[in-house]
Amino acid sequence: MIAIIGGGAAGLGAAIACGERAIVWERNKIAGKKLLLSGAGQCNFTNANNREDFLAALAEFRNWLKPAFYSFDNMSFIKLLEESGCPVYIREDRKVFPQSLKASDVRDTLYNIARQRGAKFMWDSKIEYIEEKEGLFYLNTNSGAKIRAQKVIIAAGGAAWSVTGSDGSSYRLASALGHKIHDPKPALARIEIEDYAPFICCAGLSLKAGLQLAKRSIWGELLFTHNGLSGPLILDNSRKLHAGEIIQIRICDCHDFLNLIQKHPKRKVSKLLQEYRLPQRLTETIMKNMQISSDLIAAELSASKRKQLLATLKNHPFKIKAIEGLCSSMSDWGGVDLKEVDSKTMQSRILKNVFFAGESLAYSLPSGGYSIQMAVSTGYLAGINAVNSI
């Protein structure tokens, strides 16, 4: 018997691969609780980019995750769902959703496929600890039951969004089996900004902007919230940020602004800034903060104010007051050290016949469908190798 700990995206991927050999032990009353909440309930489950672009988006984790992606890639995921009665919708930005925009359709389809292939599910069953004796594993549950298994796949999630069941238990199980664990920190998290009052009126506005990080500018969608910043630009890089840090946001690429002033000296500064398609509320906020009248014409903008305005638009400083905590961030970075897991099989290098999948592993991916895809992919690869090694 193959014991799969966790019935989320990774556990479901493993159950589909293992079929009748698997029993899934899920602490909740249902499978995929976190999956149901993903994408505000709409479930952006993968990205339709070609293989190279998809892997490039995985950044520093690209090479390690490549075998799992090749074992069950984005097109395989889309095909599996569609052939099982869950049509999909691919947006212009290549994000893929169920056509119904209901996360439950993705969850239900994966669960039904696993059941059809013979996998069994045990609900309200939290694995408290695992013992290894003479090549077999004994799993102790919260009810006091002890289960014997030949193989174990730990897919119980990370430590973020604990209300869904991801409370770091997979890290504790792995640590007890001898694995090195990286302490979790929030990922895909919003940030709260100090002295943010002038920008509260911009809440809900989004624009393409740049974040200065490690001597390079990363571009992406920036969202102003009621107390700070969010959007893919912030979410995808939040694990690299720290409270108290001052970040530089490039609001627009305005290298030709001085030329615009010379070309249109009688136009209002606020009108010139609209050339960069900035939201009007944001333009008004920036000008008000700099004490520049909304009626001021370009010719009357002093040299010092021009310089100051350019500097603000190119590198606006925001001091981070706080980063969203693990209890509500969408993901985390932390867990089992990747060096201790064989990426070609997802099997532990520390203890034979133990496999890992999904957010139990110390990787973190950007928003856009990558996390769910790779949770299912790593689960699938772990399941295939657990079966093949029996």
pLDDT, tens digit, for every residue of 24-37?
A: 999 999 999 999 99
Q: In this model, does residue 217 exceed pLDDT 80? A: yes
Q: In this model, does residue 214 exceed pLDDT 80? A: no
Report the pLDDT value the prediction gives residue 257, as an integer from 0 to 100: 87
What is the mean predicted confidence (pLDDT) over 48-72?
97
Report the pLDDT value the prediction gives residue 58, as an integer from 0 to 100: 97
CATH code, residues 191-323 = 2.40.30.10
| Chain centroid offset of residue 228 CA | 19
Q: What average pLDDT does the chain have?
A: 95
Between CA 332 and CA 184 the distance in angstroms is 6
Q: Please state the CATH superfamily assignment of the domain spanning residues 2-187+327-388 in this structure.
A: FAD/NAD(P)-binding domain (3.50.50.60)
When mean pLDDT is compared across 87-101, 202-216, 357-371, the lowest value belongs to 202-216
* CB 298 within 8 Å of CB 272: yes
Q: In this model, does residue 130 exceed pLDDT 90? A: yes
What is the mean predicted confidence (pLDDT) over 357-364?
97
What is the mean predicted confidence (pLDDT) over 233-255?
93
Domain ranges, ordered by start, for the chain: 2-187+327-388, 191-323
Q: In this model, does residue 315 exceed pLDDT 80? A: yes
What is the mean predicted confidence (pLDDT) over 46-63?
97
Report the pLDDT value the prediction gives residue 101, as an integer from 0 to 100: 97
Q: In this model, does residue 9 exceed pLDDT 90? A: yes
Report the pLDDT value the prediction gives residue 164, as an integer from 0 to 100: 87
Spatial strand order of the sheet with 46-47 comes to: 46-47, 95-98, 88-90
Q: In this model, does residue 83 exceed pLDDT 80? A: yes
What is the mean predicted confidence (pLDDT) over 120-127?
95
Intrachain domains 2-187+327-388 and 191-323 with the same fold: no
**Residues 6 or more apart in contact with residue 157 via CB below 8 angstroms:** 6, 8, 10, 34, 164, 165, 166, 170, 358, 359, 360
What is the mean predicted confidence (pLDDT) over 136-143?
93
pLDDT digits over 150-185, tens only?
A: 999 999 999 998 888 888 999 999 999 999 999 999
**Residues 6 or more apart in contact with residue 77 via CB below 8 angstroms:** 45, 46, 373, 376, 377
Between CA 191 and CA 242 the distance in angstroms is 9
What is the mean predicted confidence (pLDDT) over 323-341?
95
Q: In this model, does residue 358 exceed pLDDT 90? A: yes
Q: What is the 3-state secondary structure (H, E, C) of the chain?
A: CEEEECCCHHHHHHHHHHHHHEEEECCCCCCCHHHHHHHHHCCCCEECCCHHHHHHHCHHHHHHHHHHHHHCCHHHHHHHHHHCCCCEEECCCCEEEECCCCHHHHHHHHHHHHHHCCCEEECCCCEEEEEEECCEEEEEECCCCEEEECEEEECCCCCCCHHHCCCCHHHHHHHHCCCCEEEEEEECCCEEECCCHHHHHHCCCEEEEEEEECCEEEEEEEEECCCEEECHHHHCCHHHCCCCCEEEEECCCCCCHHHHHHHCCCCEHHHHHHHHCCCHHHHHHHHHHCCCCCCCEHHHCCHHHHHHHHHHHHCEEEEEEEECCCCCCCEEEEEECHHHEECCCCEECCCCCEEECHHHECCCCCCCCHHHHHHHHHHHHHHHHHHHCC
Q: Environment class of residue 210 by beta-carbon count within 10 Å: exposed (0-12), middle (13-18) or buried (19+)?
A: buried
* Residue 256 pLDDT grade (very low, low, confident, very high; cuts 50, 70, 90): confident
What is the mean predicted confidence (pLDDT) over 243-254?
93
What is the mean predicted confidence (pLDDT) over 212-223?
89
Residue 369 or 216, more confident: 369
Q: In this model, does residue 215 exceed pLDDT 80? A: no
When mean pLDDT is compared across 45-49, 209-213, 242-246, the lowest value belongs to 209-213
pTM: 0.92
What is the mean predicted confidence (pLDDT) over 74-102?
97
Report the pLDDT value the prediction gives residue 309, as an integer from 0 to 100: 92
